[in-house]
Amino acid sequence: MMRRLLATMALFAATMAPATVTGAQPAATNAPDAATLAALRARPPHDEVIYFLLPDRFANGDPANDRGGLSGGPLQTGFDPTAKGFYNGGDIAGIIQKLDYIQGLGATALWLAPVFANKPVQGGPGQESAGYHGYWITDFTRVDPHFGSNADLKRLVDAAHARGLKVYLDIVTNHTADVIQYRECIGKPCTYRNRADYPYSRRGGLSGPAINDGFAGDHVGTAENWAKLTRPDFAYTPFIPAGEERAKTPAWLNDPIHYHNRGETTFRNESSQFGDFVSLDDLATEHPRVLAGMIEIYGDWIDKLGIDGYRIDTAQHVNPQFWQGFVPAILARARAAGIPNFHMFGEVAMDELDVGRLARHTHVDRLPHVLDFALSAAAIEAIAGNGPTTALARLFADDVLYAGGTATAAGNAGFLGNHDKGRFAWYVRRANPNASAAELAARTLLGHGLMLFSRGVPTLYAGDEQGFVGTGGDQGSRQPLFASQVAEYRATPRLGTTAGHGVASFDPAHPFYRSLKAMIAVRAADPRLRHGETIVRASSETPGLFAFSRQLPGRPGETLVVLNTAATPLTANVMVDPASARWIARLGNCPATSAAPGTLAIQLPPFGLAVCSSDASDQ
């Protein structure tokens, strides 16, 4: 068994033709030439492989900015390289210096966790942590000084564009940092107060005095209506602590009238939209000033940087009418800046294989695309775990539920694990606690094969290519690629190497890096794998066979992808197009000819993968 698993890993790491965008070019920061930029702008999202990273946890290129220009200890500066909940030192300069490494993998786009200025530290006594992750924004117009400057970010975008790499920013519209407090519950979370018991028309509840005369409700989105909401103390009495009255930029963000002020969300019912997300100040996105302000903020970043896309944080916690106004305005701003293929996808976080829930946000909110949490759930069930491969078949069958159907699914950002819930390798280990390191590695790479060869825009999480596993949850999944001083991280083993997290992890010889590079090269060389329709050929009620073909509409030939999710070898006959007679192995072992018209005989090792292309010429 061990020999077969090691053979599978070696198969993944076999040398393949390089992807079209890879190359060891210098980390120059000059602007791209016109031809390179034009080619980049012409690429549709389907052609990308996204590399997602947290700037604080990638590379430290300038130790001088580790404390963000602040003085004092960790509770003042937010910097503590020994603590997983504080800034560890990564920055934009480090990303620029490591562009060779990223591009060498075959990635074509960078997605950066939020880079905007954050509140350095939040939390009550003993519960403090820092804004290293970027989601506690105070200044939406300025790069967090722990990461560098606006000029540094511009240099990164230019350097990436000069190589043909796109840059996506992670944006937040749902909330800001925790600045606003409530007099009724100072120093502790405030229970959510709903709109029925605490209407806008009474101060502090039904028995309170009348306020906000003439306000017709938050569903009426006109400026005239919202001008009548003059008092924010309908549920709680919000106030801004002394010294923080001008903590936020732009200035309109400092007025409590632009927030919901109803207390902590329970992530259920109306609190999902109107409640404070772990005490973060929840913006009243129904307010036309908030909508206009966010369009201005994120439109300006497009104009200043020429970026290529936005990942939208906490999209499901914002009212649909906001997205119905925001999305077309941002896409129009991008087109005006000469970016016709601006890629936007929203976060609708969930654990279940529920395509319908994701799809609802493309219909009601009119989000153009979403992060594919359903793909992650299906892979966790069928590949990390020991579920039936019918889960994968159901995933693709439900693509028709999206607004725009399979075309929308093709532009969704596919991923396996992430920085919030856990790395895919951690899910594999959790489901198979007694498995060997070789089996954990083989399952992890098989999951990446599914993501890279199925529809959607594959998204790699930095560190996965170096065998990072983590311990699950947010802080347990955010190991830096530079040498870590965090004891918990240093104590966590990696896959594919005996090295731990106490050394830098930028090794292009790591078997995961080599395997992913090989798979990305196969994807880059085959337009069917980037643009083709998906036809499920076989699935099973048990672990084992899953097969699907990718075909370009109206063109001959197909590329067949076959997975074995079982711990035993697989021999199976797979249905194919009867016109597909002769075959070429793109990855793994494929027979040269069909066993009969419409049938291809496949043999795979445990957790094996094969990519077979019929000989019809459309490459």
Check whether residue 445 and residue 477 sit in a common domain. yes
Check whether residue 182 and residue 163 sit in a common domain. no
Last-in-domain residue among 498, 525, 552:
525
Check whether residue 216 and residue 259 sit in a common domain. yes
Domain hosting residue 226, numbered range: 176-269
Q: pLDDT for 337-359, tens place per residue?
A: 999 999 999 999 999 999 999 99
- Which residues are marked as active site? 313, 347
Check whether residue 379 and residue 515 sit in a common domain. yes
Q: Please check the confidence at residue 19 and state whether its pLDDT lies above 50.
A: no
Cis status of the peptide bond prior to 189, with omega within 30 of 0? no
Does a structural domain hold residue 1? no
pLDDT of residue 22: 33
Domain CATH number, residue 466: 3.20.20.80
Q: pLDDT for 349-397, tens place per residue?
A: 999 999 999 999 999 999 999 999 999 999 999 999 999 999 999 999 9
Check whether residue 161 and residue 228 sit in a common domain. no
Question: What percent of the chain shows pLDDT beyond 90?
Answer: 94
Last-in-domain residue among 525, 558, 585:
525
Does a structural domain hold residue 308? yes
449-466 mean pLDDT: 98
Check whether residue 34 and residue 124 sit in a common domain. yes
Q: Please check the confidence at residue 146 and state whether its pLDDT lies above 50.
A: yes
pLDDT of residue 428: 98
Check whether residue 251 and residue 110 sit in a common domain. no
Cα angle for residues 534, 538, 544 (degrees, 5° grid): 120
User: 225-262 burial, b for 16+ CB within 10 Å, e for fewer?
Assistant: bbeebebbbbbbbbebeeeeeebbbeeebbebebbbbb
| Pairwise CA distance, residues 216 & 172, whole Å | 28
Does a structural domain hold residue 276? no
- Which has more pLDDT, 27 or 523? 523
Q: Please check the confidence at residue 602 and state whether its pLDDT lies above 70.
A: yes
Given pLDDT bands bounded at 50, 70 and 90, which one contains residue 616?
A: low
528-538 mean pLDDT: 98
Q: Please check the confidence at residue 503 and state whether its pLDDT lies above 70.
A: yes
Check whether residue 195 and residue 337 sit in a common domain. no
Q: pLDDT for 105-114, tens place per residue?
A: 999 999 999 9
Check whether residue 60 and residue 139 sit in a common domain. yes
pLDDT of residue 23: 35
| 570-575/599-604 β-pairing | antiparallel
Does a structural domain hold residue 388? yes
Check whether residue 390 and residue 241 sit in a common domain. no
Q: pLDDT for 155-166, tens place per residue?
A: 999 999 999 999
Q: Please check the confidence at residue 2 and state whether its pLDDT lies above 60.
A: no
Given pLDDT bands bounded at 50, 70 and 90, which one contains residue 169?
A: very high
Q: Please check the confidence at residue 306 and state whether its pLDDT lies above 80.
A: yes
Question: Are the CB atoms for 158 and 110 separated by under 8 Å?
Answer: no
Does a structural domain hold residue 4? no
Does a structural domain hold residue 278? no
Q: Please check the confidence at residue 256 and state whether its pLDDT lies above 90.
A: yes
pLDDT of residue 154: 98
Report how many domains make up the chain. 3
Given pLDDT bands bounded at 50, 70 and 90, which one contains residue 618?
A: very low
Q: How far is CA 568 from CA 5, 176, 537, 564, in A?
A: 10, 50, 21, 8
Q: Please check the confidence at residue 574 and state whether its pLDDT lies above 80.
A: yes
Tokens of 590: 């494929």
Given pLDDT bands bounded at 50, 70 and 90, which one contains residue 29?
A: low
pLDDT of residue 404: 97
pLDDT of residue 615: 79
Last-in-domain residue among 477, 502, 525:
525
pLDDT of residue 70: 98
Q: How far is CA 124 from CA 75, 121, 184, 185, 279, in A?
A: 11, 10, 16, 13, 11
Residue 248's φ and ψ, nearest 5 degrees, are -110, 150
pLDDT of residue 586: 98
Check whether residue 167 and residue 249 sit in a common domain. no
Q: Nearest-CA neighbor of 294 among 330, 265, 264, 267?
A: 330
91-100 mean pLDDT: 98
pLDDT of residue 30: 76
Domain CATH number, residue 556: 2.60.40.1180
Q: Nearest-CA neighbor of 233 among 263, 272, 253, 254?
A: 263
Check whether residue 455 and residue 550 sit in a common domain. no
Q: Please check the confidence at residue 21 and state whether its pLDDT lies above 80.
A: no
Does a structural domain hold residue 301? yes
